[in-house]
Chains A and B, each alone.
Chain A
Amino acid sequence: EAQVTQNPRYLITVTGKKLTVTCSQNMNHEYMSWYRQDPGLGLRQIYYSMNVEVTDKGDVPEGYKVSRKEKRNFPLILESPSPNQTSLYFCASSLSWGPQHFGDGTRLSIL
């Protein structure tokens, strides 16, 4: 089954404790991207990647890092999380430009 898998689905953590949200797709897609969803703000793109070792900033990249060492994986790294990064995060992939397949989301709470 074609899917985008995010882990963990839920996480409560504390300010400053590094965390990584993993994203994996099994469709051999070139494009992958990360988004956050916040009430009243809709979806906002954090980072995107057009291929292995090719990443670029989206609309709200501050406080986040990504890496794309393999085509199937695109982890989102919060080196020093802060409460304003409490949000619902989505990873997406597609064969070409324009996200088409999204994961089910990761709800992060940073205290």
Chain B
Amino acid sequence: DQQVKQNSPSLSVQEGRISILNCDYTNSMFDYFLWYKKYPAEGPTFLISISSIKDKNEDGRFTVFLNKSAKHLSLHIVPSQPGDSAVYFCAASAKRNTDKLIFGTGTRLQVFP
């Protein structure tokens, strides 16, 4: 069963607008979440993380929101730039118990001019 789900395989956004990438999880033990960006032919790049004791974390143009009751997190990119076009993965871990990391299947973001 897929414990971390990214239900939108792709997303297209105009340059300068907000991109919102969503991620849902089923395991209530997950307490730490990360987002990664991946360009073709490269390894993933770490973007931002959030602990379950917070509901928001911000780093420049990237903000992650966590809604524990809904088991949902989202990554907001504002403003979106063409260089943001990539595949985005969310990942989760029950860090208090294990260092095992579970990834979603990814969302391909395309930012057009």
Q: Which 9 A-B pairs have the closest CB atoms?
A: A102-B43, A42-B105, A43-B103, A100-B46, A42-B103, A42-B106, A45-B101, A102-B44, A90-B43
Please classify the interface of chain A as helix (H, G, I), strand (E, B), loop, or mixed, using the class held by over half of its residues: strand
Instruction: Determine the distance from Cα of A105 to Cα of B40 in the docked complex, in whole angstroms.
Output: 11
- Can you list 21 A-B pairs with a CB-CB distance of less than 8 A? A4-B43, A31-B99, A42-B103, A42-B106, A43-B89, A43-B91, A45-B102, A45-B103, A57-B100, A59-B102, A90-B44, A97-B32, A97-B93, A98-B32, A98-B34, A98-B46, A98-B101, A99-B46, A100-B46, A104-B42, A104-B43
- 1/0 contact string of A51-78 vs chain B (CB within 8 Å): 0000011110000000000000000000
B7 in contact (CB, < 8 A): no
Q: Which A residues have a C-beta under 8 Å from some C-beta of B?
A: 4, 31, 33, 35, 40-45, 48, 50, 56-59, 90, 92, 97-105
